[in-house]
Amino acid sequence: MPTAPKFQKPNKKVLIALSGGIDSAVSAYLLQKAGYQLEGAFMKNWSSTAGLKYDECPWLTDRQDALRVAAFLRIPLRTLDFEKEYKKTVLNYFFEGYKAGRTPNPDVMCNKEIKFKLLYNWAIKNKFGYLATGHYAQVKQAKAGQYQLLRSTDEFKDQTYFIYNIRTEQLPRILFPVGSMKKANVRAMAKRIGLPNADKKESMGLCFVGRIRLKDFLEQKLKRKPGPIIDMAGNQIGKHEGLYYYTIGQRQGIKVGSGGPYFVARKDLAKNALLVTNNPKDKALQIKALEIHSVNWISEPKRFPAKLTGRFRHQGKLEKLTITKNSNFGYSKKTKKDTYKATFGKPQKAIASGQSLVLYDKKVCVGGGVIV
């Protein structure tokens, strides 16, 4: 159970983000048992069903579940409509990233712009002492007094990869009640106390949108643009339907007939060509160093180069790397943005531009950035 940060005038009023899922419901229960004054907030971020795998409005079902949880706990629940802002900051980022040949991570952007910006600011403006969510992460105060973001006790469920954009100054007012628990124990607790959504399955798909058919979803904004599929010898071996639909390292969905399976090695936007290889150990899939931009430091290293660990996909293995400040790969010169170079201890496979590299010093999440 989280320990309340020490303020001169402690405020035990907490806004809990209730999504309708088990994790936020158990989080609310734990906070209530700990004596916090609790109010729930459900965020309505998306209501369209266009491009979804199932013709449904997930937010309606989720809101109903959140209402049932709030009624069970006897706490007020308000619905905050952020749909306009979500479309502007998350979905536009999603479409623009794919259009530019990248593989953007909307969950990272959603946490940055919606949960820990709009919702957090709303909570503070309305005199709440804390914002709480059901994320699997931990906030702890180090001996020196500063607050740190740590990985969850449940390493498999850890969600620090998605929330590395939290600002250092926000940490004292953020609570993650289930961050020190295993998912199995959270689910068991939900059933033991009789939560009305105790049997609800994990949410899947695009953050707040649901399960999407990527191709159909993208075609709402991006026109189909067929082009050649080229092997590593320079031969055209097939045709693709649009570079938007592929990501680096992808294996499924590359229809070129015999000689496979093939892996996406590179996307040539200038020639609208998809470069593939049928060798999973091909050097074209390997990378030893990369550049990151839009870096957020929660606990910035005292000196550079800094030896850290990092992962470039959620639940990916933590890899040893060295971070160098102000890299000169070219992106920083072109955009005038501050960038960092990450050099891995050993080559890594299938790293996609647009995804995030999240950095750690042992258990502490120190920050991260977007891969160029």
Whole-number Å distance between alpha carbons of 322 and 315: 20
Superfamily of domain 13-192 in the CATH hierarchy: HUPs (3.40.50.620)
What pLDDT, on a 0 to 100 scale, did the predictor assign at position 282?
Answer: 95
Q: Which of 153, 109, 129, 145 is nearest to 296 (CA)?
A: 109
CATH number of 223-277: 2.30.30.280
pLDDT value of residue 136: 98
Question: What pLDDT is attached to residue 8?
Answer: 33
Which residue in the list 15, 207, 274, 298 is annotated as catalytic? 207
What are the residue ranges of CATH 2.40.30.10 in the chain?
Answer: 283-371
82, 110 Cβ separation under 8 angstroms: no
Contact between 159 and 133 under an 8 Å Cβ cutoff? The reply is no
| Rounded Cα–Cα distance for residues 97 and 170 (Å) | 28
Within 8 A by CB and 6+ apart from 270, the residues are: none
Q: Which of 206, 205, 207, 186 is nearest to 197 (CA)?
A: 186
Strands 227-230 and 263-268: unpaired
pLDDT at residue 9 tops 50: no
Residues of the chain with CATH 2.30.30.280: 223-277
Give the pLDDT confidence of 70-118 residue by residue, as tens digits: 999 999 999 999 999 999 999 999 999 999 999 999 999 999 999 999 9
Give the β-pairing of 339-349 and 286-297. antiparallel
Helix, strand, coil share of the chain (percent; to 5): 25, 30, 45
Give the DSSP per-residue string, 180-224.
TS-HHHHHHHHHHTT-TTTTPPPP-SBTTTBSB-HHHHHTTTS--
The pLDDT of 225-253, averaged and rounded, is: 92
Output the CA torsion 65→15→26→105 (10° steps).
80
283-371 to CATH, choices 3.30.1360.120, 3.40.50.261, 3.40.630.10, 2.40.30.10 = 2.40.30.10
Asked whether the beta carbons of 352 and 371 are under 8 A apart, the reply is yes
Q: Could you tell me the pTM of the whole model?
A: 0.90
> Across residues 125-145, what is the average pLDDT?
95
Q: Would you state the pLDDT for residue 52?
A: 53
- Calpha distance 195→144 (Å, rounded): 39
219 CB burial (10 A radius; 0-12, 13-18, 19+): middle
In the annotation, is 57 catalytic?
A: no
Domain with CATH 3.40.50.620 in the chain: 13-192
1-29 mean pLDDT: 77
Whether 110 is catalytic is: yes
